[in-house]
Structure 1
Amino acid sequence: MTAPAALITGGTSGIGSATAVALHDRGYRVAVTGQRSESVARARAELPDEVVVLRSDSSRLSDTDAVIAEVRERFGTLTTLCLNAGVSRPATLEAADEATFDEVFAVNTKGAFFTLAKALPLLTDGASVVITTGIGATRGLTGNSVTAGSRGALLTMIPTLALELAPRRIRINAVSPGYTRTPMLRATPGRSSAETEELLTAMAAQNPFGRLGRPEDVAETIAFLASDGAAYITGQEIVVAGGAGLAV
């Protein structure tokens, strides 16, 4: 019996990397993509040797074509597609510029949509698609309007995509993490590492569970959605945030 196969975009660090490990440990053949050369090199060194690590910019459809061709050659088909690649460029309305807006939507929205479209011929009947969005798409956060809009656009697509994919029993769902200890969260422009850690500690104290999320928290949810245990779940959003945002 052929092992299941997964493609994880944005899989060289943080949530994507943890998901690669979780699926690999469950017997999946796994390929991940990353945009930055340093994260790709680190993933090749740290992820299990069997995981295929590919450099790709999700905003470039030619890069996506190359990834799909590589996955077709190596795996033949896909049983799981995790659309996790994303960027965050915090800026208030007054500070936002066109270049930042275009970059964020090109990676977060266009990239995810067309990766799914191009991967569709490889997806087996009954496959699972999981899109990482984030609770910021539906909750207010100063300076987050552009990133929230790019993720929120994906959330509004999911019900329609679920109906379009249902004849093949392909499921599509969103996982929305809260604040999670990832390299993206720690890389706060204009702050020292000590200042960032102080901020993260304060954020953790405000969470009902008293901590920030771990990449593994989100990865386990994605692994569940990829499994047969979630065979009747589609068109949904699962929030993985330790209760963040529930208080009035």
Structure 2
Amino acid sequence: MSTIHTTKHAGKIALVTGGSSGLGLATVQRLVAEGAFVYLTGRRKPELDAAVANLDGRAEAIQGDISSQADLDRIFARIRERHGRLDILFANAGGGEFAPLGAITEAQFDKYFGINVKGTLFTVQKAIELMPPGSAIVVNGSMVSIKGVPAFGVYAATKAALRSFVRTWASDLKGRDIRVNAVAPGTVVTPAYKSELGLTDEQIEGFSAQAATAAPLGRVGTPDEIAKAVSFLASDDASYITGVELFVDGGAAQV
């Protein structure tokens, strides 16, 4: 867990979907260290239990799949029951896999649009019922939404859809003082590279080396670097920012 202890999010109630590993877990740890109480969701109970084990009672894990309406209802019912409100949402849960044009299956398309697009939409729609004025939503996008990464079209399209949603939602929430923004990570190696993408250690090393070469900063990112950006967008420091897509990509999609 981060050793940083601030009051940046003191007293705030947060939800991080897909919070048991990778970027989600890094964000949970950062928000807790910055004073928030954090709910985190995920599909696998052992990973969820491990994630909250060292968070000093400042987090609660709720097993659930965002592509299931029943699971979402149960998640938000628990938050309503215990705290009655939600100040920060990091809509992070998602997934993808490589498949070139010509090999994409209907099942792959339905799976990832169901999780990444439909799941995120209904996560946000149900969350805003609990969000008071001054709340913030951060959606996890990706730099691939504007980059033509080979064999990654379905995933990239889901992230482009989320970027579009953020623009619309910023308009829909006009007058409610609820901000909504997207963070667009570049290449950050997480456990999902194996569990979701199915890459070997050797493939991950090669992919990372290639990505580092393509980025002006000459390296891949770290989960906490993404978490810091999410924390900023969710904080009062970003009080006049809504509808944006913040690229945290070492410059890879910018030059």
Shorter-normalised TM range:
over 0.9
Deviates further, 105-114 or 179-188: 179-188
- Measured against aligned partners, the alpha-carbon deviations of 1:147-179 in whole angstroms (never above 9, x if no partner) come to 111111111121221011121110000000000
Query: Which consecutive residues of structure 1, in runs of 5 or more, have no partner in the other structure?
Result: none
Query: Which consecutive residues of structure 2, in runs of 5 or more, have no partner in the other structure?
Result: 1-9
User: Which of 202, 215, 229 is residue 207 of structure 1 equivalent to?
Assistant: 215
User: Which of 232, 235, 238 is residue 224 of structure 1 equivalent to?
Assistant: 232
CA drift at 1:45:
3.1
Residue 97 of structure 2 corresponds to 89
CA drift at 1:210:
1.7
| Shift in alpha-carbon separation, 1:69–1:92, aligned structure 2, 3 A | same
Residue 241 of structure 2 corresponds to 233
User: Which of 110, 118, 130 is residue 110 of structure 1 equivalent to?
Assistant: 118
User: Which of 149, 153, 162 is residue 154 of structure 1 equivalent to?
Assistant: 162
CA drift at 1:43:
1.5
User: Which of 12, 24, 28 is residue 20 of structure 1 equivalent to?
Assistant: 28
For 1:136, give the aligned amino acid.
Answer: V
SS in structure 1 at match of 2:123: helix
Residue 135 of structure 1 corresponds to 143
| Shift in alpha-carbon separation, 1:215–1:189, aligned structure 2, 3 A | closer
Residue 197 of structure 1 corresponds to 205
Residue 54 of structure 1 corresponds to 62
For 2:230, give the aligned amino acid.
Answer: I
For 2:217, give the aligned amino acid.
Answer: F
Task: Return structure 1 stretches of 4+ with deviation > 4 angstroms.
Answer: 186-191
For 2:16, give the aligned amino acid.
Answer: I
Q: Is the 8 A contact 1:188 1:196 kept in 2?
A: no
SS in structure 2 at match of 1:168: coil
Q: Is the 8 A contact 1:86 1:108 kept in 2?
A: yes
Q: Distance in 2 between matches of 1:46 and 1:112?
A: 28
Deviates further, 174-183 or 38-47: 38-47
Residue 167 of structure 1 corresponds to 175
| Shift in alpha-carbon separation, 1:55–1:148, aligned structure 2, 3 A | same
**Structure ranking higher in helix proportion:** 1
Q: Distance in 1 between matches of 2:149 and 2:66?
A: 25
CA drift at 1:227:
0.9
CA drift at 1:81:
0.7
Matched length: 246
1:43 matched to 2:51:
yes
Q: Distance in 1 between matches of 2:106 and 2:235?
A: 40
For 1:89, give the aligned amino acid.
Answer: E
CA drift at 1:208:
1.5
For 1:153, give the aligned amino acid.
Answer: A
Q: Is the 8 A contact 1:21 1:48 kept in 2?
A: no
| Shift in alpha-carbon separation, 1:192–1:120, aligned structure 2, 3 A | closer
Residue 17 of structure 2 corresponds to 9
Q: Distance in 1 between matches of 2:64 and 2:137?
A: 19
Residue 7 of structure 2 corresponds to none
Task: Give the share of equivalent positions with the same residue, in percent.
Answer: 38
SS in structure 1 at match of 2:156: helix
Q: Distance in 1 between matches of 2:206 and 2:167?
A: 39
| Shift in alpha-carbon separation, 1:188–1:80, aligned structure 2, 3 A | closer
Residue 77 of structure 2 corresponds to 69
TM-score normalised per structure 2: 0.91
| Shift in alpha-carbon separation, 1:122–1:238, aligned structure 2, 3 A | same
- Measured against aligned partners, the alpha-carbon deviations of 1:115-173 in whole angstroms (never above 9, x if no partner) come to 11111110011110000010011110111110111111111121221011121110000
Q: Distance in 1 between matches of 2:186 and 2:177?
A: 29
Residue 185 of structure 1 corresponds to 193
